[in-house]
Amino acid sequence: MAAAARFFIRGANSKLSITAIGTGSQCSFGATLVKLSPSSNSRTKSQRRHAAHFTFQPDPEQTQYGPTQKMNLFQSVTSALDNTLANDPTAVIFGEDVAFGGVFRCTVGLRDKYGKDRVFNTPLCEQGIVGFGIGAAVAGATAIAEIQFADYIYPAFDQIVNEAAKYRYRSGNLFDCGNLTIRAPWGCVGHGSLYHSQSPEAFFAHCPGIKVVIPRSPVQAKGLLLSCIADQNPCIFFEPKILYRAAVEQVPVESYTIPLSQADIVQEGSDVTLVAWGTQIHVMREVANMAQEKLGVSCEVIDLQTILPWDVETVCKSVVKTGRLLISHEAPITGGFAAEISSSVQEECFLNLEAPIKDDQLLNPVSQLLVSLNPRLSTFLLRSSYQWRSARKRHFVDHPIRKQHPDGLHVPSVFCILKTVTSPLH
Amino acid sequence: MLTNISNVLRATAQRNGAVALVSARTYADFTTEASFEIKKCDIHKLEEAPATQVVMTRDEGLQYYRVMQTIRRMELKADQLYKQKIIRGFCHLYDGQEACAVGIEAGINLTDHLITAYRAHGYTYTRGGTVKQIMAELTGRRGGIAKGKGGSMHMYTKNFYGGNGIVGAQVPLGAGVALACKYLENNQVSVSLYGDGAANQGQIFEAYNMAALWKLPAIFICENNRYGMGTSVERSAASTDYYKRGDYISGLRVDGMDVLCVREATKFAADHCRAGKGPILMELQTYRYHGHSMSDPGVSYRTREEIQEVRGKSDPISLLKDRMLSNNMASIEELKEIDVSVRKEIEDAAQFATTDPEPPLEELCNHIFYNDSPMEVRGTNPWTKLKSVS
């Protein structure tokens, strides 16, 4: 087994040509993924798994917002920022290296178009960047701050949690920094290692007063980012960095918004609800297809989109319908946001549950640590989603979809929960 | 440092015993030591400055040359392996800044303590790591200095606390190490390195304050390579006099391209600390030839001409080489011999780094928590249990 795994790792390395994230023209990991995916169709199944742990699935083109243009996720972010700078004279963008485009090219061309007083570099000081953003926002500017990686946001944790989130409350609504939006590249990328792979949404989800938003695609990214900017609360907007180049869609050129705190039902189904956000939505879509094909199970896939405050209603309504819930995220499972959803849903839908709620994640409880290990090992872990998918299958098998108990009685969910506790599998 | 370098030299001498013997006949003709006039340091809140007239022996010169050349070649090899996709992930190269690592190490003892950021390959070598261990760490192999689990940014060895990935975060740690030195009264000092970009992080100033308040034997060294990632110092710092930014802490501005300047300043700083005068700040003015990291070509925010000019006029290795040759301290052939043996060492290490096995999967979950008996960790699916041993 170990030998086989090593073979996979090696195989992954020899076939992939993803380069590291960073400044300049060599920042092409996403492009490589895009390039790889068409050709990978002709490869065998096991080889295809090495290309990425997911396949990006674009949404059908939407025309209600006017003309569209082909954009990847970083371009759709640029487009949103462009619209904002054009429409809002008080908008300013600042962060490390944003003046010449940022390491992920999200702000390319904006300084030249709107001037260096509106799009400017800061020193390397995250706490200062956020504090400065709060100050600019409270004084009336639309402040859009970039933290270069979500992993670097921790020096600013105090400013976000104690200053930004509580400003309105502690001043009795006299002051607020609702005009502040913090953008940060987020999530795993394959070989980002310890400090370039983290998904810290759960840390912020514990803090009332801020909003946390994660898009799954270019169209969603633009609409949600514009909503965050317009929203009168400080927002953290996490951008799945693996999608920056890998995700391409027809994105409306003009400004439009997608409401916050509203989950999006990506695919309707009747047997089990799958909740995820960001990149993991694409994994879940694949799981849903597999479940349909292999097990005849109909999955409802929900993109939560806003982590805080989250859309309890949509999720619960779905669970009432399906009786089963599976939540999946990239972040560690212990204290992850899935636990919060799980707790709320069991409270609201206790009598509707047919099986214990399943929290899951891409890797494992110490995934953040594991991602830190050997870049090769983390590549392996990301590639191991085939195992992960079979894990999902296992879940379905353990808790077969049965609307009715054989005796014609409703299966009490407490039975399922007890079963979980005593099961050697858990 | 000297022990380390002489160990390296001794090992080479043993390997190339015959060569050493043959050459020994001609060595007698060389000047064994010479005095050099070096650039005066700018000082801040200090009565006197480090000496400007310094002596370097032939042996020292050869050692510095070899170590600098090793670091340079190692970084160039890493560049090559990265481009071949054998090294993956993040990788920050040190070429251009060799005089800093070598000069600092020559000014302190191996028993002193050192901590740096993510541009760590050079220091890992000067602190006692071998090229093999470093290269194998870069490629994530079992023989790596952190067992192949740390990669480029995370390398550690005795009295070398890494290899830290977050900009500026290592500096308060360095102050803590200095506190331990003071508490244990072992007459050791702690050297904390950071870049000009990190110099703007708030925690650096918190560390300054604690170190000065408690008079800790801490040397804070800012390696000013003129660019914090892609932003030049003038565009990111209100004051680019990094040696003065400790305000109440004495400071030195040093030519970081000259190994002798760095050595003298470090000796001076270490004496300052050991005399119980509290912390001291050093700014080493240096330059990195490569971009910030491997994904930064390094030419979008500076010109190729600028890089060429630094390479041509103030390359640390050429400077030392010229000094040795013009003072009859070494022959061109002899330095070439060193180059050849360095190249061989690097090639061997690269060979090792590409053929050594990767860490076994059983290692995957080790060292998460301290635990006496192995702990179980959930695997990539809930039914795979992995053992974690520490």
**Cα(A368)–Cα(A362) distance, integer angstroms:** 11
Token pair belonging to A80 = 């949103």
User: Which of A1, A124, A197 is the best residue to mutate to test the B interface, defined by the most B CB atoms within 10 Å of its own CB?
Assistant: A124
- Distance (Å) from the C-alpha of residue B250 to the closest C-alpha of chain A? 24
- Confidence at residue A415, expressed as pLDDT on a 0 to 100 scale: 24
CA distances to A7, A40, A95, A102, B153 from A36, rounded to whole Å, are 20, 6, 32, 25, 29
At A361, is the pLDDT very low, low, confident or very high (cuts 50, 70, 90)?
A: low
- Confidence at residue B360, expressed as pLDDT on a 0 to 100 scale: 87
A381/B296 CB distance under 8 A: no
Statement to judge: residues A154 and A282 lie in one domain:
no
pLDDT digits (tens, 9 = 90+) for A185-200: 999 887 777 788 889 9
User: Which of A125, A244, A372 is the best residue to mutate to test the B interface, defined by the most B CB atoms within 10 Å of its own CB?
Assistant: A125
Asked which of A252, A282, A309 is the last residue of a domain, the reply is A252
The tally of domains found in chain A comes to 2
- Confidence at residue A332, expressed as pLDDT on a 0 to 100 scale: 80
Statement to judge: residues A304 and A413 lie in one domain:
yes
At A397, is the pLDDT very low, low, confident or very high (cuts 50, 70, 90)?
A: very low
Task: List, in sequence order, every beta strand (DSSP E) within A336-414.
Answer: 358-361
What value does the mean pLDDT of chain A take?
78
B301/A100 CB distance under 8 A: yes
Q: Is there a cis peptide before residue A309, judged by omega within 30 degrees of 0?
A: yes
pLDDT digits (tens, 9 = 90+) for B146-156: 998 888 999 99
pLDDT at B286 over 80: yes
* Closest Cβ–Cβ partner in A25, A121, A387 for B235: A121
Asked which of A220, A252, A284 is the last residue of a domain, the reply is A252
At B27, is the pLDDT very low, low, confident or very high (cuts 50, 70, 90)?
A: low
* For the ranges A18-27, A53-62, B244-253, the one whose mean pLDDT is highest: B244-253
Rounded percentage of chain A residues whose pLDDT exceeds 70? 72
pLDDT digits (tens, 9 = 90+) for A245-288: 999 999 999 999 999 999 999 999 999 999 999 999 998 898 89
At A312, is the pLDDT very low, low, confident or very high (cuts 50, 70, 90)?
A: very high
**Cα(B85)–Cα(A14) distance, integer angstroms:** 8
- Confidence at residue B212, expressed as pLDDT on a 0 to 100 scale: 97
Rounded percentage of chain A residues whose pLDDT exceeds 90? 59
Q: Is A126 a catalytic residue?
A: yes
**Residue of chain A whose Cα is closest to the Cα of B378:** A364
Token pair belonging to A298 = 């109909």
**CATH assignment at residue A160:** 3.40.50.970
**Cα(B211)–Cα(B267) distance, integer angstroms:** 19
Is there a contact between A122 and A102 (Cβ–Cβ < 8 Å)?
Answer: no
Q: Is A196 a catalytic residue?
A: yes
Domain contains A54 = no
Q: Which residues contact A344 (CB under 8 A, 6 or more apart)?
A: A312, A315, A316
Statement to judge: residues A199 and A170 lie in one domain:
yes
**Cα(A249)–Cα(B122) distance, integer angstroms:** 45
Average pLDDT over residues A380-399: 45
Token pair belonging to B71 = 């670091």
- Confidence at residue A44, expressed as pLDDT on a 0 to 100 scale: 39
* Of residues B93 and B390, more confidently modeled: B93
Statement to judge: residues A285 and A341 lie in one domain:
yes
Domain of residue A399 covers 262-422
pLDDT digits (tens, 9 = 90+) for B295-342: 888 998 999 999 999 999 999 999 999 999 999 999 999 999 999 999
Helical H segments across A88-155, by residue range: 110-114, 126-138
pLDDT at A165 over 80: yes
User: Which of B79, B86, B90 is the best residue to mutate to test the A interface, defined by the most A CB atoms within 10 Å of its own CB?
Assistant: B90
A125/B201 CB distance under 8 A: yes
Domain contains A104 = yes
- Can you tell me which residue has the tokens 């010449």? A100
Statement to judge: residues A352 and A247 lie in one domain:
no
At A34, is the pLDDT very low, low, confident or very high (cuts 50, 70, 90)?
A: very low
* Of residues A23 and A219, more confidently modeled: A219
Which of A12-21, B206-215, B229-238 has the least mean pLDDT? Answer: A12-21
- Confidence at residue A20, expressed as pLDDT on a 0 to 100 scale: 35
CA distances to A117, B156, B175, B180, B246 from B213, rounded to whole Å, are 39, 29, 11, 15, 12
CA distances to A20, A155, B92, B231, B291 from B227, rounded to whole Å, are 20, 21, 13, 5, 9
Statement to judge: residues A367 and A267 lie in one domain:
yes
Nearest to A374 by CA among B86, B187, B147: B147
Which of A281-285, A356-360, B69-73, B184-188 has the least mean pLDDT? Answer: A356-360
List chain B domain ranges. 2-359, 361-390
Average pLDDT over residues A363-368: 36
**Cα(B260)–Cα(B224) distance, integer angstroms:** 17
Q: How many residues does chain A have?
A: 426
How many pairs of residues across A and B have Cβ atoms under 8 Å apart?
165
* Closest Cβ–Cβ partner in B88, B201, B384 for A375: B88
CA distances to A2, A14, B50, B128, B368 from A370, rounded to whole Å, are 16, 22, 47, 28, 9
Average pLDDT over residues B18-39: 72
Statement to judge: residues A98 and A205 lie in one domain:
yes
Token pair belonging to A314 = 């949509």
At B365, is the pLDDT very low, low, confident or very high (cuts 50, 70, 90)?
A: confident
Q: Which residues contact B180 (CB under 8 A, 6 or more apart)?
A: B190
Three-state SS annotation for A12-30:
HHHHCCCCCCCCCCCCCHH
Domain contains A268 = yes
The answer to whether B317 contacts chain A (CB < 8 Å) is no
Selected from 3.30.300.250, 1.20.210.10, 3.30.70.20, 3.40.50.970, the CATH number assigned to the domain covering B2-359 reads: 3.40.50.970
**To 10 degrees, the CA torsion angle through A310, A311, A316, A319?**
-90
pLDDT digits (tens, 9 = 90+) for B9-24: 444 444 444 444 444 4
| Element spanning B220, H or E | strand B218-224
At A417, is the pLDDT very low, low, confident or very high (cuts 50, 70, 90)?
A: very low
**Residue of chain A whose Cα is closest to the Cα of B199:** A124
Statement to judge: residues A97 and A190 lie in one domain:
yes
**CATH assignment at residue A346:** 3.40.50.920
Is there a contact between B31 and B61 (Cβ–Cβ < 8 Å)?
Answer: no
pLDDT at A155 over 80: yes
Statement to judge: residues A229 and A316 lie in one domain:
no
For residue B127, report the phi and psi dihedrals to the nearest 5 degrees: -80, -5
- Confidence at residue A55, expressed as pLDDT on a 0 to 100 scale: 87
Which of A340-354, A375-389, B49-63, B92-106 has the least mean pLDDT? Answer: A375-389
Task: Say whether A226 sits in a helix, a strand or coil.
Answer: helix
The answer to whether B304 contacts chain A (CB < 8 Å) is no
- Which entry of A53, A196, A282, A329 is annotated as an active-site residue? A196
Statement to judge: residues A328 and A415 lie in one domain:
yes
ipTM over 0.90: no
- Distance (Å) from the C-alpha of residue A266 to the closest C-alpha of chain B? 25
Nearest to B294 by CA among A259, A6, A260, A26: A26
Statement to judge: residues A113 and A242 lie in one domain:
yes
Instruction: Name every chain B residue with its beta carbon within 8 A of the beta carbon of A27.
Output: 295
Domain contains A59 = no
- Which entry of A126, A146, A286, A300 is annotated as an active-site residue? A126
Asked which of A252, A287, A302 is the last residue of a domain, the reply is A252
- Distance (Å) from the C-alpha of residue A299 to the closest C-alpha of chain B? 20
The answer to whether B291 contacts chain A (CB < 8 Å) is yes
Q: Which of residues 82-121 of B touch A (CB under 8 A)?
A: 85, 88-91
What value does the mean pLDDT of chain B take?
91
At A386, is the pLDDT very low, low, confident or very high (cuts 50, 70, 90)?
A: very low
Statement to judge: residues A246 and A283 lie in one domain:
no
**Residue of chain A whose Cα is closest to the Cα of B367:** A369
B88/A394 CB distance under 8 A: no
- Distance (Å) from the C-alpha of residue A60 to the closest C-alpha of chain B? 32
CA distances to A232, B84, B88, B344 from B151, rounded to whole Å, are 43, 16, 9, 23
